[in-house]
Amino acid sequence: MTAHDIQTAPTPQEKEAGPEPAHGAEIVVSLNRLKASPRNARKVRHPEAAIEALAASIRAKGVLQAPVVEIERDREGVATGSYLVTIGEGRRQALRLLVKRKAIKRTHPVRVVVDTLNDAHEISLDENITREAMHPADQFEAFRRLAEEKGYGPEEIAARFGVSAQVVRQRLRLAAAAPELMSAYRDGTITLDLLTAFCVSEDQDRQRQVLAQMGPYPSVFAIRRAMTEARVRADERRAVFVGLEAYQAAGGEVVRDLFTEDGGGWLQDPVLLDRLVMDKLEALAGEVRQREGWKWTEACAEFAEVSALGRVYPVPVERSEADAAEIAALSAEYDRLISETDAEEAFPPEVDARLEAIDRALQAHGPDYDYTPEARARAGVMVMLGHDGLARFERGLVRAEDAAQTPPPWEDDGTTDGDDPGYARVGDAASDETGGEGDAARTGDAPAPLSDRLLVDLTARKTMGLRDAVQADVGAALATVVHAMALQVFYPGYGDFSPLQLRLSVSELERLAPGVADSPAGRRVADRLEAWGVRLPERAEDLWAVVSELRRSDLLDLLACCAGVGLHAVREPHDRRPAARAQAETLATAVGLDMTGTWTATAASYFSRVPKARILEAVSEAVGPQEAGRIAGLRKGDMGEAAERLLEGSGWLPTVLRVAPPEGGAGEEEGGATAQAVMGPDDAPAGSRVQGGHEAPAVVEEGQALAAE
């Protein structure tokens, strides 16, 4: 149809002058003469976001698809001069929104198509049923063409299509995926969630590599981890300490995560980041040395490096009677002013000014405790990066060659108090005010806790070991099953108190801890399953006939095999089953689980995934503090490899993999099981069955279940 075929709709005054528009005619109608059709099949209103998007599109490009209308008639069948919108009600609402915002007038001309033959309700239904939205991949690539060919930025594209600039950035990132990924998304091999995980990085070669390594059941978490394993998260302590602006100013690149609400990201250059961390720590160390007059200052990235050093402590500052009286008077006045104005929302200006003056006067007197000049002359400061991304200043550290100058208390000549905190005992690496041995936990400088990912990995491996041990101990397996069943039968709502997943929904541990299936425990579990798979029938309907003919010993053996596979004691970040994990620890003790036979601390399995402080902690526990001191100055990668060699054959395990020994060895049952018998109603010590009005059992505290980190 050409422009000459487009008619202008007659006004009510003109309708007698000419014929009505014919079927299929395109006419131009004033917006205020378009009305909603009562025969529109869509009854639920369009979402506001959809109307906003349509309005943005119309404002940028006009109405691209003419609405379909029918002629409105009065009761006598006479045309009123208005038109009912059969198809395109969303476009009409978007135009009305533009009128409301004064972008167009109420009489804005709208091109429409007149339909006088078809049933209005049917074609409205047809429009909503038969149309199909374009595939998201096509939309992503169409946005990319606009950016490349038209030069539109995200903000311009967003304005033209009524979406946010962030949505446009996300779609442009998805459009930049490797062609193999886009093809897999189009044919349904991967989902949109998996595609976004791949597109965390724009490195198409890495995307292809991870895609090739992906198994049949990939997870978003595993893909994101693989795509970012060589980068540093923007919220990691080193990045927080340096700051993204400083990192970028030094030439570092930050890859933003466009698919998370917090807009986090990764720093591309860990080597540059580590250099910036050390530069900043060394600058802070130089400032402290110049300002406070220490013999030495040193920057380091980990707290454990101070463990081989002695320590001196501040002593009370001696003041004249006049200074002491002045400080006491100022402190009393400060407390009085605070007390008198405590009920007021804000300090009066004169009170606020006086409080600031008192504060400055007190600061001028210096601290009540300080290091002596002699202590500063032989001690130093270690400036370290804390777990929270802030610099930590460990003052008063004494090197071995300087500690020899310290008069030991037992050789006191009478001029000093043997308990003078200004001195450090020779060889006392990290004595503190509590009189301990430098226990980092007492000074608030404990090594950072294990990462959630490592906890998942290690406890997954422990779960595999537990499965292996339970399968090998039929008595314990039977007790486990009875315990789990009794919880659900006699204690409604407390089924999760058992680590045994009674429905035996076998959790795939390989997804949580890659390689666990190839561990010694994993292979033994698989061998038992294979041996029973040969004996059992192919069809589920035939299983009972086979099982019912098994000897009791074979039944118990099969029960142990199934019970072991059903165990799940993985400690995940959002775990809500502390009682189950507590029971898992009890069960591990009962079956005598020994993880040294199935897991070994290596650089790959542990040391490369924990801070240097954890590595030194492991070496200290396994082979002694002296060996830990020898490797304390190494880089983390070298330290991890050295720790692996030192711990070889030692049987050392991190706390989370250790199993508490049985108490007294009592309760050993036939078959090696040490399991608590199912108690009757008169034997329950901490709660009763939820039956007959009895109270529910008390919740087991998580702290009773797991050893402290």
Q: What single-letter amino acid sits at 61?
A: K
* Residue 623: pLDDT band with limits 50, 70, 90: very high
* Residue 657: pLDDT band with limits 50, 70, 90: very high
Give the residue, 700 or 651, on which the prediction is more confident. Answer: 651
Residue 16's contacts (CB-CB under 8 Å, 6 or more residues apart) are none
Give the residue, 435 or 172, on which the prediction is more confident. Answer: 172
Tokens of 128: 């909503």
Mean pLDDT to the nearest integer, 492-507: 64
DSSP readout, 391-457? EEEEEEEE-HHHHTTSPPGGG--SSS-TT-TT---TT-TT--TT-SS--GGGGT-PPPPPPHHHHHH
Residue 50's contacts (CB-CB under 8 Å, 6 or more residues apart) are 90
Mean pLDDT to the nearest integer, 445-451: 79
**Alpha-carbon span 443 to 441, nearest angstrom:** 6
For residue 261, is pLDDT > 70? Answer: no
Instruction: Give the pTM.
Output: 0.36
Q: Edge-to-edge, what's the strand order for the sheet holding 310-311?
A: 296-300, 380-385, 391-398, 310-311
Q: Are 41 and 120 in contact (CB under 8 A)?
A: no
**Alpha-carbon span 378 to 136, nearest angstrom:** 68
| Residue that is written with structure tokens 């079956």 in the block | 591
Which of 131-135, 343-347, 403-407, 620-624 has the highest average model confidence (pLDDT)? 620-624
pLDDT in tens, 555-566: 788 788 778 877
The dihedral built from the CA positions of residue 323, 328, 329 and 333, taken in this order, carries a sign that is positive
For residue 133, is pLDDT > 80? Answer: no
For residue 232, is pLDDT > 90? Answer: no
> What pLDDT, on a 0 to 100 scale, did the predictor assign at position 87?
87
> What pLDDT, on a 0 to 100 scale, did the predictor assign at position 416?
42
Q: 3-130 has which CATH code?
A: 3.90.1530.10
> What pLDDT, on a 0 to 100 scale, did the predictor assign at position 691?
32
For residue 156, is pLDDT > 50? Answer: yes
> What pLDDT, on a 0 to 100 scale, did the predictor assign at position 662?
82
Structural domain boundaries of the chain? 3-130, 277-438, 452-504+566-599+653-704
> What pLDDT, on a 0 to 100 scale, did the predictor assign at position 285?
92
**Alpha-carbon span 174 to 136, nearest angstrom:** 10
For residue 69, is pLDDT > 80? Answer: yes
Mean pLDDT to the nearest integer, 264-274: 80
Residue 320's contacts (CB-CB under 8 Å, 6 or more residues apart) are none
* Residue 699: pLDDT band with limits 50, 70, 90: very low
Q: Are 499 and 569 in contact (CB under 8 A)?
A: yes
- Bridge partners of 113? 26, 68
Alpha-carbon 708 to chain mean position: 22
pLDDT in tens, 280-293: 999 999 999 989 99
